[in-house]
């Protein structure tokens, strides 16, 4: 099945299965009084087995799923001594970036005053250097002659972070980035809250500084602090979208609030492209908090019952998860392409298409998709769909999720992937070579629900 590397995110295994996910970790979320790691308040988790919570609850880092990146761990009921707490606070302090955002903004001002020949970027430290610092980095690789144009495209200077589990950065291909911006402008938005979308932010900032009549503004919220070297404090906030944590404290929060305040009827949209690691619940709860912030600023205005307009860019197989938290959202067929991920490149063959879509609370018919790329408008569904997505007469909807034409199964009473077949054992459609074991359909031995045949209690009695 497609998806390839996407499966590494834990989401791929949701495909081709009828039953609930097997054992794993369940997220309980952000709870008041949670202890903090360098990435802000930790999240509460619990071990699960066959969908049931069991075992002790514990706190772990919200941002890093790889223990190598942040090894914060604490049992929920663990007593932490005063000395350990103090040591932890010290650790958290010492793990903050060397320069503050303010210092970085000051450094940037000095950097742009330098002649081209003195503008260097250290590739090892991922840092703009001032001449007095060259010495310290003398055995590092530099990028030299950093132009103003380069400074306006930091995502092309910084190397994309590649840690699969924690922070894989997949940057938009120009085609997709331009499409998003044009769409945003055509929809009449003038402010973009860019949450984890540095490349969208940078084309907006870059156009704003170059084109007289370009009126769009953007604020970038991202956990990648390297960006603070290129943006002022009202253009970038160091932010963790898994726990809604502003590293810059109340001042940064206020920057965000101010940005969301719509003066002269300038409309705001939130655009976010989070890592696909799976913590949909945590993301949704942060986005709700950002939406609430937007709402506060709306007070007193007429018709203030709305939700902040949002584009949440995420793989299609998370659709039901996203809709669980945002019933007002719908998934658009547009395939979002990335630069630095081979699997996501737009293919002609139908394979290797991007699984990434736009989820939005805007009216689907207003999201116009490019006809020259094969999208068409379905008048019945009142939305643009991809060319392979045929309208099913029985479902009365364009049912394909992945761009391939899906087929209707009369037994399942819905459309399914072209590669699936109806399995009478499982009583649903699945891949032909699937294993007929479904916990919620009952055990093969005794027929009772809740366990598989390998753990059937009636076997141990025998
Ligand atoms: N396609 C986007 C980039 C998406 S990659 C673009 O081209 O603009 C995911 C982004 O989310 C990265 O910028 C990464 O730094 C950011 N990110 C990852 N974890 C985060 C977290 N916990 N909080 C905030 N941002 C995070
Ligand atoms: Zn952490
Ligand atoms: Zn249709
Ligand atoms: Zn159908
Ligand atoms: Zn079926």
Domains of the chain, with CATH numbers? 25-95 (no CATH), 98-146 (no CATH), 164-298+305-387 (3.40.50)
- Residue 242 Cβ < 6 Å to ligand 1: yes
Give Cα separations from 69 to 63, 72, 164, 166 (angstroms).
9, 9, 11, 8
Query: Ligand 5 centre and the CA of 21: distance in Å?
Result: 20
The structure tokens listed for 131 are: 């001449």
Please, is 442 exposed, middle or buried when counting C-beta atoms within 10 Å of its C-beta (0-12, 13-18, 19+)? middle
Rounded Cα gap, residues 271 and 184, in angstroms: 10
Query: Ligand 3 centre and the CA of 206: distance in Å?
Result: 38
Number of residues written out for the chain: 462
314 pairs with which residues across the strands?
357
Query: Ligand 1 centre and the CA of 222: distance in Å?
Result: 6
Q: Are 367 and 374 in contact (CB under 8 A)?
A: no
Atom of ligand 1 lying closest to residue 273 CA: 4
Atom of ligand 1 lying closest to residue 169 CA: 5
Query: Ligand 4 centre and the CA of 318: distance in Å?
Result: 20
| pLDDT score of 115 | 97
Query: Ligand 2 centre and the CA of 42: distance in Å?
Result: 7
| pLDDT score of 22 | 44
Give Cα separations from 331 to 184, 361, 398, 448 (angstroms).
16, 9, 12, 37
Atom of ligand 1 lying closest to residue 161 CA: 15
DSSP state at residue 338: B
Question: pLDDT (tens digit, 0 to 9) for every residue of the chain, 462 residues total?
Answer: 233 333 223 333 333 333 334 457 888 999 999 999 999 999 999 987 776 667 889 999 999 888 888 999 999 999 999 999 999 999 999 999 999 999 999 999 999 999 999 999 999 999 999 999 999 999 999 999 999 999 999 999 998 887 665 567 899 999 999 999 999 999 999 999 999 999 999 999 999 999 999 999 999 999 999 999 999 999 999 999 999 999 999 999 999 999 998 666 789 999 999 998 768 999 999 999 999 999 887 655 555 568 999 999 999 999 999 999 999 999 999 999 998 765 555 554 444 578 999 999 999 999 999 999 999 999 999 999 999 999 999 999 999 998 899 999 999 999 999 999 999 988 899 998 888 865 455 665 666 666 655 666 665 543
- Residue 199 Cβ < 6 Å to ligand 1: yes
Please, is 435 exposed, middle or buried when counting C-beta atoms within 10 Å of its C-beta (0-12, 13-18, 19+)? exposed
Query: Ligand 2 centre and the CA of 250: distance in Å?
Result: 20
415 pairs with which residues across the strands?
408
| pLDDT score of 40 | 97
| pLDDT score of 48 | 79
Q: Whose CA is nearest to atom 10 of ligand 1?
A: 196
Atom of ligand 1 lying closest to residue 241 CA: 23
- Of 164, 196, 202, 277, best ligand 1 pocket probe by most atoms within 8 Å of the beta carbon: 196
Q: Whose CA is nearest to atom 15 of ligand 1?
A: 224
Q: What is the dihedral of CA 61, 66, 67, 73, to 10 degrees?
A: 30
Atom of ligand 1 lying closest to residue 171 CA: 7
Query: Ligand 4 centre and the CA of 413: distance in Å?
Result: 7
- Of 63, 173, 179, 198, best ligand 1 pocket probe by most atoms within 8 Å of the beta carbon: 198
| pLDDT score of 447 | 62
DSSP state at residue 158: S
- Residue 170 Cβ < 6 Å to ligand 1: yes
DSSP state at residue 204: H
| pLDDT score of 450 | 61
The structure tokens listed for 140 are: 């590092």
- Residue 167 Cβ < 6 Å to ligand 1: yes
Q: Which of 263, 163, 271, 174 is nearest to 221 (CA)?
A: 271
Atom of ligand 1 lying closest to residue 242 CA: 22
- Residue 273 Cβ < 6 Å to ligand 1: yes
- Residue 239 Cβ < 6 Å to ligand 1: yes
Please, is 144 exposed, middle or buried when counting C-beta atoms within 10 Å of its C-beta (0-12, 13-18, 19+)? exposed
Residue with tokens 């092309």: 156
Atom of ligand 1 lying closest to residue 170 CA: 5
- Residue 353 Cβ < 6 Å to ligand 1: no
| pLDDT score of 15 | 34
Rounded Cα gap, residues 154 and 280, in angstroms: 28
Q: Are 191 and 218 in contact (CB under 8 A)?
A: yes
Q: Which of 167, 156, 159, 231 is nearest to 194 (CA)?
A: 231
Rounded Cα gap, residues 86 and 166, in angstroms: 27
- Residue 228 Cβ < 6 Å to ligand 1: no
Q: Which of 316, 324, 391 is nearest to 357 (CA)?
A: 316
């Amino acid at each position: 099945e497609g998806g390839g590397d996407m499966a590494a995110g834990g989401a791929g295994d949701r495909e081709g299965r009828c039953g609930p996910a097997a054992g794993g970790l369940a997220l309980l979320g952000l709870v008041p009084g949670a202890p903090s790691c360098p990435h802000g308040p930790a999240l509460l988790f619990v071990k699960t087995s066959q969908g049931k919570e069991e075992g002790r609850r514990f706190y772990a880092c919200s941002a890093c799923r790889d223990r190598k990146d942040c090894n914060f761990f604490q049992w929920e009921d663990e007593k932490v001594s005063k000395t350990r707490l103090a040591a932890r606070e010290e650790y958290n302090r010492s793990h903050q970036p060397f320069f503050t955002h303010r210092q970085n903004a000051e450094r940037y001002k000095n950097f742009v005053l330098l002649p081209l020949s003195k503008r260097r970027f250290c590739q090892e430290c991922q840092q703009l250097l001032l001449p007095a610092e060259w010495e310290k980095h003398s055995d590092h690789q530099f990028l030299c002659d950093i132009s103003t144009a380069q400074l306006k495209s930091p995502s092309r200077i910084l190397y994309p972070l590649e840690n699969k589990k924690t922070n894989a950065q997949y940057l938009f291909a120009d085609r997709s980035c331009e499409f998003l911006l044009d769409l945003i402008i055509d929809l009449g938005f003038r402010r973009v809250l860019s949450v984890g979308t540095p490349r969208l932010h940078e084309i907006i900032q870059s156009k704003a500084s170059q084109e007289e009549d370009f009126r769009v503004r953007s604020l970038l919220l991202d956990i990648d602090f390297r960006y603070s070297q290129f943006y002022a404090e009202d253009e970038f906030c160091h932010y963790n979208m898994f726990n809604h944590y502003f590293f810059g404290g109340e001042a940064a929060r206020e920057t965000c609030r101010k940005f969301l305040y719509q003066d002269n009827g300038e409309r705001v949209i939130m655009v976010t492209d989070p890592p696909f690691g799976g913590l949909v619940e945590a993301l949704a709860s942060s986005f709700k908090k950002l939406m609430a912030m937007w709402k506060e600023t709306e007070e007193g205005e007429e018709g203030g019952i709305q939700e902040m307009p949002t584009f949440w860019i995420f793989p299609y197989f998370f659709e039901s998860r996203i809709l669980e938290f945002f019933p007002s959202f719908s998934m658009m067929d547009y395939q979002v392409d990335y630069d630095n991920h081979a699997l996501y490149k737009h293919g002609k063959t139908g394979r290797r298409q991007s699984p990434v879509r736009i989820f939005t609370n805007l009216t689907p018919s207003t999201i116009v998709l490019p006809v020259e790329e094969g999208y068409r408008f379905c008048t019945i569904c009142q939305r643009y769909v991809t060319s392979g997505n045929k309208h099913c007469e029985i479902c009365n909807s364009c049912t394909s999720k992945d761009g391939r034409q899906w087929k209707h199964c009369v037994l399942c009473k819905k459309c399914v992937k072209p590669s699936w077949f109806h399995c009478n054992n499982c009583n649903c459609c699945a891949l032909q070579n699937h294993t007929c074991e479904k916990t919620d359909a009952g055990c093969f031995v005794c027929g009772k629900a809740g366990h598989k045949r390998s753990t059937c209690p009636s076997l141990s009695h025998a």
